[in-house]
Amino acid sequence: MEDSIYNTEEHQIFRETFRKFVAKEITPHVPEWEEAQAVPRSIWRRLGEEGFLCPWLPEEYGGLGLGFEYSVIINEELLRGNAFGVEVPLHSDVATPYVFSFARPEIKARWLPGCTTGEVVMAIGLTEPNAGSDLAAIRTRAVKDGDSYVINGQKTFITNGYFADLIVVAAKTDPAAGHRGISLILVDKDAPGFQRGRKLSKMGYHMQDTAELFFEDCRVPVANLLGEEGQGFKYMMAKLQQERLEVSIKCQTLAEEALKEALAYAKVREAFGKPIGNFQYNAFRLADMATEVQLGRTFLDSLIREHLQGQNVVQKVSMAKYWLGEMVNRIAYQAVQIHGGYGYMEEYRVCKLYRDVRCLSIFAGTSEIMKLIISRGLGLSA
């Protein structure tokens, strides 16, 4: 499916360059990386060498000063190259923006250049065993002790968690203040008292090093505070628009890929002497799938355009995250069904797509939480 808003010559050159990079450097290694449940650090450095990490950062920090649309292209082409799990978008467009927006100048100078070279991999530690979409319920504590914060707590389901060099950690600096007592603090992988748990085994998303993180009297400099104490919840709400947009891009792109697989198979697989796509039921099912996918692309492109213009699209992004997350699961289900027994076989790409997309209606807030946000935006008190 053709993209509708990245049609300049510069965009096309960038897309083609990155597509070739993925085809050569990433796609051939996907099976071994999925088996290892991780991607090697060397690929991060290769991505950095080619300018594919944090391309939006200003040149003073090693970036290219490009717009968010280039991050969209990177996200799309990784997915089209079977690289769901090479979490460049999480690093570049979710975690690193916290440092750029809220860190002190000396902290930016220390860490941001490495984010563009691949020497520094970023993660963000929000979710806890007993606090997921309800960020106000986090229990991790950070107590100021002289020129340090001492952090105690646990995080789970942390993308890039096993190999991250720097983690944005949400912790309560004033537990009595509820969500107004949350602060964001940077934790270096070498901070005393910081430990990683196991790499988590997941239904899909296999090559992603999702991990548990533990903080036991973990001591970090006060200078690692992002912004002001007690403003962490506000900062997270400000950044969730782009995070949920990034997940929406994943939903839409993988829906397009699942439809592509289903169409190709329906045209060559025969039953009763003709391609199965020529049976009216399958033809109409594919027509329904194509319509949903096209509606999703139109909605997503409009949101990207408004986001690039700096508009507040929190309500629309919540709608997109909910609807696209459910839509991609419907499309992947139907794609497997069209493949029949072969759709259940790992050797078929549609099988991998099916298991990978299941997480997308959960990431960055479940569909149920998105509906709650949408209803409140409609003036309802649900």
Q: Is residue 4 part of a domain?
A: no
**199 membership: H or E segment, kind and range:** strand 194-199
Give me the percent of the chain exceeding a pLDDT of 70: 98
Alpha helix positions (H), the chain: 9-25, 30-36, 41-49, 68-80, 88-89, 96-102, 105-117, 232-268, 280-308, 314-339, 349-357, 367-377
Domain around 203: 123-228
Catalytic, out of 69, 77, 229, 243: 243
Clarify whether residues 184 and 319 are in a common domain.
Answer: no
Clarify whether residues 176 and 270 are in a common domain.
Answer: no
SS3 143: strand
Identify the band that residue 177 occupies on the pLDDT scale cut at 50, 70 and 90: confident
Domain boundary at 77, 94, 120, which?
Answer: 120
CA nearest 164: which of 127, 102, 115, 116? 115
On whether the CB atoms of residues 350 and 204 are closer than 8 A, the answer is no
Tell me, what's the pLDDT at 1? 41
pLDDT in tens, 1-44: 445 566 789 999 999 999 999 999 999 999 999 999 889 999 99
Q: Is residue 261 part of a domain?
A: yes
Q: Is residue 187 part of a domain?
A: yes
On whether the CB atoms of residues 353 and 291 are closer than 8 A, the answer is no
Clarify whether residues 68 and 134 are in a common domain.
Answer: no
Q: How many domains does the chain have?
A: 3
Q: How many CA atoms lie within 13 A of 242 on its CB side?
A: 24
Q: Is residue 270 part of a domain?
A: yes
Clarify whether residues 273 and 370 are in a common domain.
Answer: yes
Q: Is residue 2 part of a domain?
A: no
CATH number, domain at 362? 1.20.140.10
Instruction: Report yes or no on whether pTM surpasses 0.85.
Output: yes
CATH number, domain at 144? 2.40.110.10
Clarify whether residues 131 and 115 are in a common domain.
Answer: no
Clarify whether residues 198 and 254 are in a common domain.
Answer: no
pLDDT in tens, 195-253: 999 888 999 999 999 999 999 999 999 999 999 999 999 999 899 899 999 999 999 99
Q: What is the dihedral of CA 313, 319, 320, 321, to 10 degrees?
A: 100
CATH number, domain at 49? 1.10.540.10
Domain boundary at 167, 200, 228, which?
Answer: 228
Mean pLDDT, to the nearest integer, of 313-334? 97
Known catalytic membership, residue 69: no
Domain boundary at 92, 120, 148, which?
Answer: 120
pLDDT in tens, 110-152: 999 999 999 999 999 999 998 776 777 889 999 999 999 999 9
Tell me, what's the pLDDT at 2? 47
